[in-house]
Structure 1
Amino acid sequence: MSDDTELETEIETGTLPLDAWHRSNGARMVEFAGYWMPIQYTGEHGGIFAEHEWTRNSASLFDVSHMGQLALSGDDVAAELEKLLPGAITTLKQGRIRYSLLLNEDGGVLDDLMVTNGSDQYFLVVNGATKWDDIAHLREHLPDEVTLHYGDDRALLALQGPQAAAALENIVPGVSELVFMQHGMFDWGDYRLGVSRSGYTGEDGYEISVRAEDVQAFADALLADTRVRPAGLGARDSLRLEAGLPLYGHDMDENIDPVSADLTFALTKKRRESGGWLGHAPVAKVLADGPAEKRVGLAIEGRMPAREGAAIFAGDTQVGRVTSGGFSPTLGRPIAMGYVASDWAQDGAELEIEVRGKRLSARVTPMPFVPHRYHRGS
């Protein structure tokens, strides 16, 4: 073999614990975040639009086991997490969940995640495509006294829609008492489940952590309820777009700060001033000076959708780019989100998006495009 021969190592696409189950239920599988995942199902009730509408009206079961489930424990773990996350972790009540961000030294977003106070430990759910980098980042910056465990023996399901609470309560009594962004441990037969009332569709629903070896039986138990049907990545993406929720790697990345990404709510107000978290100084500067560009919602005229990468214009000047876009099944028209220069980020600003050599009229509009229906209690 000559010295200049290049060796290429092909990384094998992983499979989820429910891989065979998806295929037997008629799923069309695609590669996503390093795994084979269902994008939609075939058959009478399958298809992205059908699965989207079923989620809006009943309950859909999504497999999100590609996400990273991490557990952190040790002395002062909450205080140590606050050195890396801009949210208030030490004051997070037991059983409560907070959306937060993992930032680099320049204030760029490495990942967005959910943090749960599980009493004796803190749970983090991170994105599947970034989980190994997240784990490396956490291990690099957290002290040795903090133990990090990656739950690769667990699956994660999301049951979403207005009938999700009734369907899950039917087999896991007590879960209906949870409110949005609250977590609890529940028994299903002889098994212990971690249940959070949360999700990424804009609908009421749950994310359920279950042992990988038990997940097929649990999924079958849910689908035995006629209110529940399986749904794939396609419907999850159209739902989160209607909900105005950003997707990591598309609507934000390590080169985009939280202020530009319109995620300032994830920066706890007191901690914006006190600092003490990685990336605080550059983010504080953007807060003080204002961002050069901002993530906005875009309502598009006509029927043609604008996809990621499409250029956004004000007259002859390009002022931004689309980061997520598609046709909204609920609204019956195309919508998008993207970044535009701050001068054009105000609601009602009239812009154009270039798609296939044509200019589509678009208007900056508030998000979410479809109101959230989270269960926040009385």
Structure 2
Amino acid sequence: MSTTDALLKTPLYALHQELGARLVPFAGYALPVQYPSGLVAEHRHTREQAGLFDVSHMGQLQLVGAEAAAALESLMPVDVIGLPVGRQRYGLLLNDEGGIIDDLMVFNPGPVEGQPALFLIVNGACKTGDIAHIQTRIGHRCEVRTLPEQGLLALQGPQAAAVLERLVPGVQQLVFMSGGHFEWRGAPLLVTRSGYTGEDGFEISLPGDRAEAFARALLAEPEVRPIGLGARNSLRLEAGLCLYGNDIDTTTTPAEAALNWAIQKVRRTGGERAGGFPGADRVLGEIDDPGRLSRKRVGLVALERVPVREGTPLQTEGGEPAGTVTSGLLAPSLDKPIALAYVAPALAQPGTRLHALVRGKAVPMEVVATPFLPPRYHRG
């Protein structure tokens, strides 16, 4: 029996095999880590043209009912009630200690069957727990509908808009973090102009039984190549974006993770909608008084060409423990090693020099602002 036989399969599994993908276990699924051209070529192609990602392992769900927005707002420090139809936000699902259960996307698609609704995309490895958490906490206030039969594709890169417009006229009018309902050959598409690469691009939710045909139509366009998990990781790291389970988890608070920007003002200060989410006292206390923090997420660039991987310990120049790397690799677009790490707040200022201990060797690194590469989102 092959290592992928016991794993779940996305609607594109057969296509990945046909394209020569190297399939690996990820979040319980058999997913492509790379195709024959390799990680670096896939990464560069996405930065230069358009890459197609199968992200159908992610969790997709709807919250339906008059109280859906207020109910979800009780679980996250996000302005959900004020989210207009056709707009999307990044959000953090928190536990009662203010730790991050998951990071997710929430989109207002307009009414579903005549009722207010929200559309959520959650991380694949977290989706079972997320859905149970949401159902337990707010299932009495709105209907929680899971969408396991939906496929999810991401088309990312500077040519993504031109390519998708050929197949789905009208998508070019979208701007970053907006979306709408479209169709392709009779198949309903929910398209948002978003992604996790730092590039312009789109995420497309569609019926699973139409996903392969749509993916083939995209891959038939000369600018598009299939992209695996390896390049997805290097692209998101260059964009300074967190990977759940590496850079954030239930032991991390938003302020520690430098995600204060994801908490809108209406949920922070004054007014009846400030606070009221799990862990609010701690989360807002750390934002108001950064002196409460014992660690903070930072970006690092190595000053020697030595890749610094997840789990690598950090020291000050004087040899004192300084923190730990949570993500790291040789960045293909920058041609130098980069990393995300947690360090003591006193060491979090850009320009601070630290040492990463790689196989007993002290590799000099410098704290830098993230993202490592300027984003190219289309804001209109």
The secondary structure found in structure 2 opposite 1:14 is coil
1:308 aligns with 310
> Whole-Å Cα distance in 1 between the matches of residues 88 and 133 of structure 2?
21
Matches within 5 A, 1:69-108: 69-108=60-99
Aligned-pair CA distance for 1:144:
1.8
1:26 aligns with 20
What one-letter code is carried by the residue in structure 2 that aligns with 1:303? R
What one-letter code is carried by the residue in structure 2 that aligns with 1:300? A
> Whole-Å Cα distance in 1 between the matches of residues 327 and 46 of structure 2?
20
> Whole-Å Cα distance in 2 between the matches of residues 86 and 235 of structure 1?
31
Pairwise CA RMSD: 1.0
1:332 aligns with 335
Q: Which of 184, 202, 207 matches 2:180?
A: 184
2:221 aligns with 225
Asked if 1 retains the 8 angstrom alpha-carbon contact of 2:75 and 2:94, the reply is: yes
Q: What's the CA shift string for 1:87-110, capped at 9, x where partnerless?
A: 101111101000010000000000
Aligned-pair CA distance for 1:218:
0.3
Q: Which of 246, 252, 257 matches 1:256?
A: 252
The 10-residue stretch of structure 1 (247-256 or 11-20) with the greater mean CA deviation from structure 2: 11-20
The answer to whether the aligner puts 1:341 opposite 2:344 as a matched pair is yes
The 10-residue stretch of structure 1 (152-161 or 74-83) with the greater mean CA deviation from structure 2: 74-83
Asked if 2 retains the 8 angstrom alpha-carbon contact of 1:95 and 1:117, the reply is: yes
The answer to whether the aligner puts 1:124 opposite 2:126 as a matched pair is no
Aligned-pair CA distance for 1:191:
1.0
What one-letter code is carried by the residue in structure 2 that aligns with 1:281? D
Q: What's the CA shift string for 1:280-302, capped at 9, x where partnerless?
A: 01112222332211100001012
Aligned-pair CA distance for 1:145:
3.7
Matches within 5 A, 1:1-378: 12-42=6-36, 46-120=37-111, 121-273=117-269, 274-290=274-290, 291-314=293-316, 315-377=318-380
The secondary structure found in structure 1 opposite 2:329 is strand
2:114 aligns with none
> Whole-Å Cα distance in 2 between the matches of residues 162 and 23 of structure 1?
27
> Whole-Å Cα distance in 2 between the matches of residues 167 and 25 of structure 1?
20
Aligned-pair CA distance for 1:75:
2.1
> Whole-Å Cα distance in 1 between the matches of residues 157 and 139 of structure 2?
40
What one-letter code is carried by the residue in structure 1 that aligns with 2:75? L
> Whole-Å Cα distance in 2 between the matches of residues 169 and 75 of structure 1?
34
Asked if 1 retains the 8 angstrom alpha-carbon contact of 2:71 and 2:141, the reply is: no
Q: What's the CA shift string for 1:141-178, capped at 9, x where partnerless?
A: 10424111111011000000000000000110000000
What one-letter code is carried by the residue in structure 2 that aligns with 1:31? P
Q: What's the CA shift string for 1:41-67, capped at 9, x where partnerless?
A: 01xxx1000000000100000000010
What one-letter code is carried by the residue in structure 1 that aligns with 2:298? V
Asked if 2 retains the 8 angstrom alpha-carbon contact of 1:272 and 1:280, the reply is: no
The 10-residue stretch of structure 1 (283-292 or 61-70) with the greater mean CA deviation from structure 2: 283-292
> Whole-Å Cα distance in 2 between the matches of residues 169 and 15 of structure 1?
29
> Whole-Å Cα distance in 2 between the matches of residues 218 and 86 of structure 1?
36
> Whole-Å Cα distance in 2 between the matches of residues 159 and 137 of structure 1?
30
> Whole-Å Cα distance in 1 between the matches of residues 19 and 110 of structure 2?
38
> Whole-Å Cα distance in 2 between the matches of residues 357 and 198 of structure 1?
41
Q: What's the CA shift string for 1:309-352, capped at 9, x where partnerless?
A: 00011021111000000001111111001100000000100111
> Whole-Å Cα distance in 1 between the matches of residues 253 and 140 of structure 2?
29
Aligned-pair CA distance for 1:217:
0.5
Structure 2 runs not aligned, ≥5 long? 112-116
TM-score, with structure 2 as normaliser: 0.94
> Whole-Å Cα distance in 2 between the matches of residues 53 and 145 of structure 1?
46
> Whole-Å Cα distance in 2 between the matches of residues 289 and 366 of structure 1?
21
Aligned-pair CA distance for 1:17:
1.1
* Identical counterparts, % of pairs: 51
Asked if 1 retains the 8 angstrom alpha-carbon contact of 2:246 and 2:326, the reply is: yes
What one-letter code is carried by the residue in structure 2 that aligns with 1:115? V
Asked if 1 retains the 8 angstrom alpha-carbon contact of 2:152 and 2:203, the reply is: yes
Aligned-pair CA distance for 1:198:
0.2
The secondary structure found in structure 2 opposite 1:352 is strand
> Whole-Å Cα distance in 1 between the matches of residues 145 and 76 of structure 2?
18
What one-letter code is carried by the residue in structure 2 that aligns with 1:63? D
Aligned-pair CA distance for 1:209:
0.5
